[in-house]
Structure 1
Amino acid sequence: MSLPGLSSGAESEGQTHLIDLAAGSEWRVEVPATSQLNVTLLDGTAEVFGTELAVGAQYSFVGQNTAIYTWYGCKLQYSSTLHSSISTSSATFSEYTSDETPMTVYANLHFALETLRNESKPPSVLVLGPPYSGKTSICKILASYANKTGRFPMVVNLDPAMGVYSCPGGLSAAPVSDILDVEDSTGGWGSSQVNGPALLHPKSPLVYYYGLETPQKNSKYFKHVASRLALGVQARLSADKKVRESGIIIDTPGTGMSDSAVSSVIADFKVTVVVVVGNERLYSDLAKRYKEKTNLTVLKVPKSGGCVDLDPPAVRATQSRSMRDYFYGTIKQTLDPYSVTVDYSAVTVYRVLEESELDSSALPAGEQADSQHSAQHLVKLETSAILQNCVMAMLNASPADSVDLLVQSEVLGYVHVITADDDRRKLVIRMPVPGRLPQRPFVIGDYRYHE
C-alpha cells in the first residue's frame, strides 16, 4: 500500500506505468544501485536538470536520484527492472510528484546570467551551499540552459569526492559544448561518453589531483590545487573566444569550504556572481563580507525539495561506479582495459599528505620525507603491498622531477593497481589503453577500487 503521490516500485517490478505530469510539476525518483528505471517521454516536453528528453526515446537510470520537470505538461511511461549486473532478490525505488519546485527561480537566474553575456560581461558563477542542497543540480541546469542558447560554459568541479570528467580525487574543468548525459549515474556530466581509451578527450578536460575526500583534510593543498586549476582555466578562456564569452560555472564540495578557501576561489577564478543555495546565514555572511566589492554580486536561491541526503555507503557506491566506468565503460559504451605486470622499481609513487601528517614525526614507516615536505604536501612512498587496490593519478611530469614541480603538474590519466606482491616485488596494473606503463610519476590519495 502506498501513500498518494508516493509509491515504491517493489510491488510492480517489470510492469509498465503511465504518468501525466501537469505543467510546472516535477516527478522525483530515487533509484538504488539494485534497480534500473526505464523512462520514455510519450508526449509533451520534459527535462532532467535542464537537459530536454526526446519523445519516444527510452532513458535508463541506475543507482541515482533524478527529477523530470515539465514546463507545459507531459506524459511519461516507466517501468523498473532488476539491474542485471547486481545479484539481489528485489528491485525497489521510490517516486512521487511535486508541484512545488524552484525551477522558475533557476530559470530566472539563467536569464540574468544570459543578460550579462549579452552585455559582454561573461559571468564567473560560484555555487555555494550546505551538503545535499542541490548545488550540482543547479550547475547542471545553468550549464544546460546556457548550452541551449549556443554557449559553451566552462564547468569547474571543486568537489574531490565527485568525479567529473575524472576519477574521484581530481579537481577538473571542461567546457560544456553539447547536451549532458542524463543517464550517467556518476554525475550526469557525460563522463560515460568520454572515459577510457580516448586519445583526444572530446571535452579537453583539465584535471589536477587533490586526492583527499574533503578540503578540510588539507586546506592549504586544496587551495593550491584549486589555484593551479584556475590558472589553466584562465589560459583556456584566453585562447577560446566562444568559451570566454560563455563564462564559468563552479561547483563546490558537498562538505563546504573554509572562509579562506572561498576567498581564494573567488580571487583565483575572478568570480563575479556567488549563488548561495538554501542557507540564509551563509548568504548574509557573504553579502556583508563582500558588500564593498562592486564587481561581485551575492544571490540566494531556494533549495529544491527533491534534494536527498546520501549516507556514506551510497557515496562510496557512486565513487566506485565512477572508477569502474573509467576503466570498463558503461552499458552504452563498454571498454576493455589492459593490464601490465611491472617491477616495483618501475614505478615512482607519492602520497598526498593530510594536514595532521605535515609534521615528519607523524609519517608512517616506509615513507621518506625531506626538510621541505611540509610545504610540498606530497611524500614519496616505498613501493609495497600498500598500493594494492589504489587508483593512482598519473602526472604530466618525469619521475626524476622534484616535488615542487610535481605539485604544479596536471593529471594525464589514471591507473588501477590490481595486485601488489611483496614476495615477487611485482605490480599488476590496469590501464584504460593498451601499451607499456608510461614512465611518469604517480600520486595516490584516499581512493581505492575493490572489484
Structure 2
Amino acid sequence: MPKPYVLQKEQELRIEVREGHSLTLKLVKGQAEVFGTDLLEQQIYTLRGQKLAVFSWEGCEVQLQGVGEPVEDAIEVIYESDDTPMREYANVHNLLQTRREAALASKFEGPRTMVVGQVDVGKSTLCKILLNYAIRRDCAPTMIDLDLGQGSIAPPACIGATPVEGPIDVEEGLPVEMPLVYFSGNVSPEPNPHLYRHHVERMAALLDKRAQSNAEVGAAGMVINSMGWIDGLGYELILHSLKTFRVDIILVIGQDKLYSQLSSVFRSDRRMNVIKLTRSGGVVMRPREYRKSSREQRIREYFYGPRNDLQPSSSTVPFTNLKVYRVGSGFAAPQSALPIGGQSYSNPLKVTQMLNMNDLLHMIVAVSHAQQPEELLSANVAGFVWISNVDPVQQTVTYLAPCAGELPAPFLLAGTLKTYFR
C-alpha cells in the first residue's frame, strides 16, 4: 500500500533506499523537487538504492510505495526535516544568475564556480541543485567533474565535462551526450598527479575555446565538482584546478580550515569570491566499502544502463588487434640505490605499450580517439570496454562494449581500475 507523507513549507523528506531495493515516489499535490529537479504531479518515479531528499518550497503531499515489498523493507532511513541549507543554495543561484545575465549582455564570460570540501559533504548534490536552477532560467552551464572516484559524467578514474541543457533526471541522473572525458586509470590522482594536472590543463584549454566561440556558452559559465582530498597534495591539486579553470566563485561546504586557507590565498584577487556554505544535515558519511560498491555500480550502469535495460556486446579479438598503453614510467629509483652523485629520473607522462596482455583481465580500459600513440596524452576518450577474458593459448582478448561493432580506434589506455561486476 502507498504510504503518504505531508511536507510543510521549506521542509524536506530525506530517504535512503536500501541497496538492491526499489520504491516508487509520486507527487500527489503541491510543489516538490529532488536536488532542484521539479517533480511532476502524479508521475511515478522509481528510486533504486538511492539517497535523496524531496524538498518543497510551498508544501506538498507525496506517496511512497515499495516495489514488490512493503515500503519499510525497502527503506534504510526516512525522516522529515526543516533544517536545510536550501535558502543559502537559492541565494547562491541568484548570485550566479545575476552574473550570467550581466555576462550575456556585455558578451563577457559568466561565473566559473567550483564546489570544494572533504568527502561526503554534499558537493555533488549542490552541483545538481545549481545546474537545475540554471536550467529553469534557460541557461545551460557546463558541468565539470574533477573527482576521479565519483563517476557522475563518466565511469570512475576519469575527469569529464558536459553541457547540461535539460533537468537532471531523478531516476537516471545527469543527461550526458558527447562528454569530454580524460582517463587517468586510477580512482585517485595520488599515483600520478602529473597526469591529473595534464588532463585538467588540457580540458580547461578546450573548454576555454568553446566558451570563446559561443557567447551563450561563455555566459552560462561552469559548475565544477572537485575531489574530496583537501589536504597536502590534494589541496595543491585543488589550487591548480582553481587557477587553471580561472574559477571566480569558490563554494566551501562546511570546512572552516579550508575556507580560511582559500580566503587567505585569494585575498588579493578582487575577482574571486570565496563563500562558506552550511553542510546539509541529510548528508551522511559513507564507509569505504560503500564508495567502492558505488563505483562498481556506476561502471555496471555504463554498460547495462541505470535500469538494467541495455544490451552490451561481447567480442573476441586477437592480441594483435589491440594496442594497449599505460601513462607513466613508474616510480624513480631511490637515491640509496644509485651511484654516488647519480640522479634518479622518471617520466610520469611517458606513454608505454603494455606487452603482457594477461594483466588486462577484468580491467576497465579506455578507448582513445587518438590515431597515433603520440596523441594518447592529448586525445580524449571515446568510450570504455571491460576485459572479461584473456586467453594466452589462443592469443585472444574478450571484451564487453556498450554497443556492437568495431572499436573506433585501436589505441586503448589502461590503468589499475578493475571490476568483477558481472
Distance 2:227 2:19 in 1: 23
Instruction: Name the structure 2 match of 1:10.
Output: none
Distance 1:178 1:278 in 2: 29
Unaligned runs of 5+ in 1: 1-14, 84-89, 195-202, 362-370
Is 1:401 paired with 2:373? Answer: yes
The answer on whether the counterparts of 1:207 and 1:411 sit within 8 Å (CA) in structure 2 is: yes
Is 1:31 paired with 2:17? Answer: yes
The answer on whether the counterparts of 2:99 and 2:111 sit within 8 Å (CA) in structure 1 is: yes
SS state at 1:215 partner: coil
How many residues are paired up? Answer: 403
Q: Aligned runs of 1:37-436 on 2, under 5 Å?
A: 37-81=23-67, 91-120=74-103, 122-184=110-172, 188-190=173-175, 203-256=177-230, 258-331=234-307, 334-353=309-328, 357-359=330-332, 374-398=347-371, 400-402=372-374, 405-436=375-406
> What residue identity is the alignment partner of 1:189?
L
Unaligned runs of 5+ in 2: 104-108, 335-343
Mean Cα displacement is larger for which, 170-179 or 240-249?
Answer: 240-249
The answer on whether the counterparts of 1:349 and 1:383 sit within 8 Å (CA) in structure 2 is: no
SS state at 1:282 partner: helix
Moved over 6 A (4+): none
Distance 1:347 1:153 in 2: 37
> What residue identity is the alignment partner of 2:354?
L
Distance 1:23 1:179 in 2: 23
SS state at 2:83 partner: coil
Distance 2:207 2:30 in 1: 39
Q: TM-score, normalised by structure 1?
A: 0.85
Q: TM-score, normalised by structure 2?
A: 0.90
The answer on whether the counterparts of 2:182 and 2:381 sit within 8 Å (CA) in structure 1 is: yes
Please report how far the alpha carbon of residue 344 of structure 1 lies from its aligned counterpart in structure 2 after TM superposition.
Answer: 1.4
What's the CA shift string for 1:173-195, capped at 9, x where partnerless? 011100101113xxx313xxx5x
What's the CA shift string for 1:291-325, capped at 9, x where partnerless? 11111111111100011111222222222222222
Mean Cα displacement is larger for which, 427-436 or 408-417?
Answer: 427-436
SS state at 2:190 partner: helix
The answer on whether the counterparts of 1:347 and 1:439 sit within 8 Å (CA) in structure 2 is: no
When the two chains are superposed, the root-mean-square deviation of aligned CA atoms in Å is: 2.1
Please report how far the alpha carbon of residue 446 of structure 1 lies from its aligned counterpart in structure 2 after TM superposition.
Answer: 3.0
Distance 1:279 1:124 in 2: 20
Distance 1:34 1:381 in 2: 37
What's the CA shift string for 1:342-384, capped at 9, x where partnerless? 1112211123449xx33269xxxxxxxxx98614154321142
Distance 1:82 1:344 in 2: 46
Please report how far the alpha carbon of residue 92 of structure 1 lies from its aligned counterpart in structure 2 after TM superposition.
Answer: 4.1
> What residue identity is the alignment partner of 2:86?
M
> What residue identity is the alignment partner of 1:204?
M
> What residue identity is the alignment partner of 1:340?
S
Distance 1:210 1:287 in 2: 30
Please report how far the alpha carbon of residue 218 of structure 1 lies from its aligned counterpart in structure 2 after TM superposition.
Answer: 2.1
SS state at 1:160 partner: coil
> What residue identity is the alignment partner of 2:21?
S
Provide the identity percentage: 29
Mean Cα displacement is larger for which, 240-249 or 433-442?
Answer: 433-442
The answer on whether the counterparts of 1:373 and 1:379 sit within 8 Å (CA) in structure 2 is: no
The answer on whether the counterparts of 1:395 and 1:413 sit within 8 Å (CA) in structure 2 is: yes
SS state at 1:393 partner: strand
Distance 1:82 1:226 in 2: 45
Instruction: Name the structure 1 match of 2:338.
Output: none
Please report how far the alpha carbon of residue 438 of structure 1 lies from its aligned counterpart in structure 2 after TM superposition.
Answer: 3.9
Please report how far the alpha carbon of residue 40 of structure 1 lies from its aligned counterpart in structure 2 after TM superposition.
Answer: 0.3
Please report how far the alpha carbon of residue 214 of structure 1 lies from its aligned counterpart in structure 2 after TM superposition.
Answer: 1.4
What's the CA shift string for 1:23-71, capped at 9, x where partnerless? 1111111112221121100000000111110000111111221111000
> What residue identity is the alignment partner of 2:199?
V
